[in-house]
Each structure stands twice: as C-alpha cells, then as structure tokens.
Chain A
Amino acid sequence: MSDNILNFSLADFFFNDSPSVLNPPSDFEEWMGHPAVQRGFSFYEQELLEAPRVSTRIRSNLDGKERRIINLTSYNYLGLSTHPEVIQAAKDALDKYGLGSSGAPLLSGTLDIHVELAQKLAEFKKKEDCLLFSSGLGANVGTIQGLLRKGDYMVVDEKIHKSIIDGGTLSGAKMLFFDHNSMDSLQMMLEKTKGKRTLVAVEGVYSMDGDLPRLPEILDLCDEYGAGSYVDEAHSTLMFGANGRGVAEHFGVEDRVGISFGTLSKSFGGVGGFVCGSKPIIRYLKGYASPWNFSCAPSPAVSGGLLKALEIATRDSSLRDKLWKNVTYLKNGLNRLGLDMGESESQVIPIIIGADGAKLMRFAAAMQTRGLFLQPVDFPAVPAHARRFRISVSSQLTQAEMDETLNIIEDVIVKGKE
C-alpha cells in the first residue's frame, strides 16, 4: 500500500480482517498515520469558535491559528439558528421545561410543546399527522425500518442519502438502485418489483449535487406500479415552493406524496427530523420506528426554538427571497468564472474539481488561509472522478461577502494562486 497510499480512502477499510473486533484493520493505522492522509483529514472536525453564521471564527487545523472566515459550509440556509426571536423562544422553553425531556415519547417524554410542533408541521406539510424525531438521520432510519420488512422492496435513486440506505438495510427489504433521475431505469426496477410491496424513495434536493428529482414523473410511475412514495425534503423544506413547503409544493404534487420527510437542522436551524403522512401510518410507525420509541424525545428548548423558526419562515417570504437572490448572484459569478457547477438547481452548489484529490486539498487549504471556509468533499462521498467543493448558500450572505468569496475562488481555483 505504501507506494499508492493516496489512492486509498475510507471506502477501503470498511471490511475488517483484524482478529480482534476491537482493533481496526492493520493497514488502517498505517494509512491514517501517513502525513499526506493526515493533511487531508485535517480539514475535518475544525472547531467553530462562534455560532455557525456566515461570518464566524474557526480554529484552523492547518496551522492552529484562530481565523475569521466566510462560512459557506454550514447548512444554516435561512440563518434561523441565530435569529433573535428563535433564541428567545428557545430560552423561554428552556426556562419552562428545562434542558431535556427525560423520557421516550411513548412513556413520559411527550411534552405539550412537542405535540404543538408536530401538529404545526403536519398542517404546514398538508398531511394528516407528523412524527417528531430527535435526529434527522434517526427519522429516516426509523421510518424506513418501520415501513418495510423482509420480502418488501425499496427502489431508490443511486444518490439517495445514507440514512435511507441504512434504514433499508435494517428493515431487511431488498434494495434496488435506479440511475440518478433516470425514469427508464426507475421503470426497469419497478418492473422487477411488480406485484411486491414497494417503496420508492427520492430526495427533494440531492445533497452533493443540488439538483432536484423529476418528481411528477416519479409519482406517475409510483401510481402505475402501485408503489408507495417517500420524499426526503431535508435540503428543500422552507426554501422551495411558493410557501416554502418544499419541492412537492414546487412541482404541485403535495397530495400525491405518501411520506414527506424533513430535517429540523438545516433551514430550521435546530436539530431533529420529522415525517408527515396519513394518520394510520404515523400511528403504525410509533410502534416500529425504534429511533422514535426507544430514544429520548427532543430537547424542549430546541422544540421551542423550532416553533418560532417555523413561524418566522412562513409568515412571509422575505428569508426565502433573500436566499434565492443570493443563489442567483453567486451562480452568475461562478458561471462567469467558468466553473463546473454540475446540474445544481438549488442553494446547494457544487464546484467540481475532478479526479485530483491532492489538488482539491491544496485548493481547500489556500482558500481557508485566505478566509473562505469551503470544505472539500472527497471520494467516497462523491465519485472519484468528480471530487468537489460544496457551497451551502445562506440568506445571511451580504453582497460584500459574496464578492470576496468570488475573488478568493477566482484566485485559488481559476488562477491557481495557491
């Protein structure tokens, strides 16, 4: 391995041949200990020293220095995590209920503030009921695990989030992956599962590419083959649609979506996840979605803040409007620089660098030194030939910050000033 150590990635150490389950693979330590690999990992787990606003400070792992940066990596799309009204609402809930819920929802963890938040989310998503989870990942894992059984099928876009795959694995259902956004491929898979209980799962905005699903056509195929539909609106809720209800609203197909999933950590600015659907299926899930019924209910302080975040984001469209204005400004600037943004149609904008992982890391270091916090996304999170940076646009960005961002990107990525 020593002669091609940089060709290896975390994907190569998943299977562990060590005699003891408490030891990693023997060559994993050798790989992790290599200076070039350590340099790559130094971009991760860098400490933020202030709130995850667009303008924040980090302690850079590159040189140990504290640095003020423009943060385009946090998914605080609408800036709600630090909105003064949200913070006040969270403080009020903290004063009233304390820090934790002290119980699983089924037994003692359900507080009136959770019921209120779930009701408001169900009304917002125009569904009969809603189940609230302490984690977004847990909501996907738990719901899929709760819906499917051995002998069932789950047909998913090949770019679907890991949490849905993990839920499928846990459920015992057979998983089939269709080519990204290819209706021919989806139909081919649905032909294979014809007559079997089948769930089709797609994302509202694909998190590494920023493109949208062809939702109306996907739902047509679900109807034709009698499959259930599941739409993960983690990166689209509060942003897409005239009222922010997500891509299902954007495409005018809300009533056709079986289960609508959302996170509370992205545009909402808190933490947690939720699924909305019919009353009977939500009631059923309460019995079988382990991350709901075996996990402590969400922190009431967070739930209080989230209620306010939902109110702010839906009382008018000002935050969404600002976000889309910023997205247009940045995309126009990146276009002028001739950068490859893939098929992005959203506030998630990839800058695809290519196969050269070492170059990706050099660019990341140079941009960070210049004050731009833009994290590299490497294989296996994205294909080896399409390593990239991923911009998460926020409504908080000012024009001056966007201009500075474009200057740094031009100098480092376009002109190669490393």
Chain B
Amino acid sequence: MTKTEVIEVIKRIIEENLDDVSIDDIDPQKSMKDYGANSLDMIEVVSCSMRELNIKVPRAELAEIHNIDSLADKFMEYMGS
C-alpha cells in the first residue's frame, strides 16, 4: 500500500468519526485537532485506521505526531513489518 492510500484511509475514517468534515476538505498537513477532534476522537481515528491497515503502532510513539501526514509516515514504518 502506498502512503497516498494510507492517507486516504485516515481521511475516510476522520470523515466517519467527526461531525461536519468532508473527506475532500481534509489537508494532510493539518492536525485532526484542526477539524474539531478531541483526544478521544483522535484515539478512535487512530485505532480504526490501524485496525483497517492491520498494524499495531505503540501509542507512546504517536505522542510527538502533530499532523495527518506524519501519522501516515509512522503507519508506513509498520506496514509489512
């Protein structure tokens, strides 16, 4: 799976979990917080994404990630490992 496809998965799950957010409006350089996500929403989005991508990234490694693009990079590290 390419990074672009991983970003598409994350964007779709953000749309499913947040109110008033359309997939076309989501900019990967922004944080989920910019789209109104609270910390519980973010846990839900990350967990659903990992489940769909069949990976498990420790939460402790996600603490310093501040936008969707970096989240996709971190997911890519675990893809196929």
Contacts and interface: CB of A to CB of B under 8 A. Distances in A.
Contact of B47 (A15, A169, A177, A379): A15
B40 interface: yes
A33 to B, nearest CB: 17
A126 to B, nearest CB: 33
B5 interface: no
Given A175-B38, A192-B36, 14 more contacts: A7-B58, A7-B60, A8-B58, A8-B60, A12-B58, A14-B43, A14-B47, A15-B47, A169-B40, A177-B39, A379-B59, A380-B60, A384-B63, A385-B63
A12 B43 CA distance: 10
B24 interface: no
A125 B59 CA distance: 41
A220 interface: no
A7 B61 contact: yes
B75 to A, nearest CB: 14
B63 A383 contact: yes
A192 B59 CA distance: 29
A11 B61 CA distance: 11
B59 A9 contact: yes
Given A14-B47, A15-B51, A17-B51, A165 B59 contact: no
Nearest to A11: B59
Interface in B46-68: 47, 51, 56, 58-61, 63-64
Given A169-B40, A176-B38, A9 B60 contact: yes
A8 to B, nearest CB: 5
B60 A165 contact: no
Interface in B14-28: none
Contacts of A11: 59-60
Most buried by A among B39, B59, B61: B59
Contacts of B60: 7-9, 11, 379-380, 384
Interface string A369-392: 000000000011001110000000
Most buried by B among A9, A11, A165: A11
Nearest to A25: B56
A380 B63 CA distance: 10
A158 B37 CA distance: 13
Contacts of B63: 379, 383-385
Interface of B: 36, 38-40, 43, 47, 51, 56, 58-61, 63-64
A150 to B, nearest CB: 12
Interface in A1-29: 1, 4, 7-9, 11-12, 14-15, 17, 27
Contacts of B40: 165, 169, 175
Contacts of A379: 59-60, 63
A9 B58 contact: yes
A379 B56 CA distance: 17
A179 B18 CA distance: 20
Contacts of A165: 40
B51 A177 contact: no
A381 to B, nearest CB: 12
Contacts of B61: 7
Nearest to A192: B36
29 contacts: A4-B58, A7-B60, A8-B58, A9-B58, A9-B59, A9-B60, A11-B60, A12-B56, A12-B58, A14-B47, A15-B47, A15-B51, A17-B51, A169-B40, A175-B38, A175-B40, A176-B38, A177-B38, A177-B39, A192-B36, A379-B59, A379-B60, A379-B63, A380-B59, A380-B60, A383-B63, A384-B59, A385-B63, A385-B64
A380 B47 CA distance: 15
Nearest to A378: B60
B53 to A, nearest CB: 13
